[in-house]
Structure 1
């Protein structure tokens, strides 16, 4: 242990002396510093393992535990992006409708898991206010329920019901509006046209094709939807 500490001390002295040159023993100072750091870490772990236990079996067991922990941390660091995507996918599965940003061979994307009711719902925002959308490829444009329209900042005076639309509850009138921003996960669009249904005629706001067609790619799978900006 004393010999190891002496070597590390000498290496630190060399690093300080060769700071301006950037090289020590023919290798970059940053690499040598990393080796010294790992040596110090190994010395501390070694002292804890070998110095704290006299029973050889217990010493070997604790050494193996430290090795497993070190390998686990190293693996987590090397594959941190994949681990993050896995955690996000699990979170999306536990909370259907919550958009999560993931990365694959095609780049970043927003993933939305199917809700328990069998529909694809997305927790989004309009003009910065939360809105729960039903993803509807049959809707030509975004359609807001009357309650959602009021919650995102429209007043009754802003709404003129001059359009006729078809809803699950039959034909209804709707008011044309323009939205400042529409956000689903990391995807945001500005200035999209939309319509607001009459009170009581639309239970949930619809994310229509004017938003979907602005995406680079839209993929609907069995249990999830993929949105690519």
Structure 2
């Protein structure tokens, strides 16, 4: 116990001395302070355990349990970013279409898992309103369904169906619009040109090439799409 308290005291002295540098023993001072705090807690608990248990075997068992708990807490603190990303990936796998921020060797990106219907869908937002997009590299621009456009805040009086577009079901009319913002995960674009399909022609809004081409990278894998801002 005296040895442990000596180490804690030395660590505190180092923290005070290296306060301005921000680093001690290769760790951020905040991380080292976290370890010192829980080390002190372990010392207090250990002292209590020693005082309450005369049986050496039981005392050692309790000390090991507390050591494992403290080690787990310390590890969770040091690797909290990795833990958050792992949880986010699992959540994305359980909820396809949900954009998940990831970090790999190429930096920060947004990952989207393939939906059960075999398509890549992306839960996004337009002008702050939730929109579920179908990622479509064959669409030249973002195309909103009439229902989504009305939900976002457009009215029928705002929509002039002056464009003729080719769809999988033949020619259709669409109204040109300007979107204040389009969001997919952490990726945001403002002042985006788009179109609104006439009623009954489009079941789901499309995330087209004018958004995709604004990215630094777009990678489509077997079960995942990677978007890089």
**TM-score over 0.5 for the pair:** yes
Task: Give the equivalent residue in structure 2 for 1:107.
Answer: 107
Shift of 1:169: 3.0
Q: Does 1:222 align with 2:228?
A: no
Larger radius of gyration, structure 1 or 2? 1
Residues 4, 135 of structure 1: alpha-carbon distance in 2 compared, 3 angstrom cutoff: same
* Aligned mates of 2:5, 2:70 — CA distance in 1: 24
Alignment-derived partner of residue 119 in structure 2: 119
Q: Are the equivalent residues in 1 in contact too, given 2:137–2:209 (CA < 8 A)?
A: yes
Q: Is residue 28 of structure 1 aligned with residue 28 of structure 2?
A: no
Give a deviation string over 1:146-172, Cα, whole Å, max 9, x none: 001111111111111111222233321
Query: Is the 8 Å Cα contact of residues 169 and 202 (structure 1) preserved in structure 2?
Result: no
In 2, are the aligned partners of 1:177 and 1:194 still within 8 Å (CA)? yes
3-state DSSP of counterpart to 1:134: strand
Deviation at 1:75, TM superposition (A): 1.6
Change (3 A) 1:160 1:38: closer
Q: TM-score if structure 2 supplies the norm length?
A: 0.84
4+ residue segments displaced more than 3 Å: 3-8, 29-39
Deviation at 1:49, TM superposition (A): 2.7
- Are 1:123 and 1:132, in contact at CA under 8 Å, matched by a contact in 2? yes
**Equivalent in the alignment of 1:54:** 54
Partner Cα distance (1:98, 1:106) in 2: 21
Q: Which moved more, 1:139-148 or 1:37-46?
A: 37-46
Gaps of 5+ in 2: none
CA distance in 1, matches of 2:128, 2:39: 51
Paired residues in the alignment total 216
**TM-score if structure 1 supplies the norm length?**
0.84
Q: How does 1:4-153 map to 2 (within 5 A)?
A: 28=17, 30=19, 34=33, 37=37, 40-153=40-153
Does the CA-based 8 Å contact 1:4-1:43 persist in structure 2?
no
- SS class of match (1:88): helix
C-alpha RMSD of the superposition = 2.8
* Distance (whole Å) between structure 2 residues aligned to residue 91 and residue 6 of structure 1: 42
The alpha-carbon distance between structure 1 residues 73 and 203, as it changes in their structure 2 partners (threshold 3 A), is same
Offset at residue 112 of structure 1 (A): 0.8
Could you say if the C-alpha distance between residues 42 and 93 of structure 1 is closer, same or farther in structure 2, counting changes exceeding 3 Å? Answer: same
* Structure 1 residues without counterparts, runs of 5 or longer: 16-23
Contact 1:167 1:201 in 2 (8 A): no
- Measured after TM superposition, the shift of residue 57 of structure 1 is 2.4
Which residue does the alignment assign to 1:19? Answer: none
Please report how far the alpha carbon of residue 61 of structure 1 lies from its aligned counterpart in structure 2 after TM superposition.
Answer: 1.8
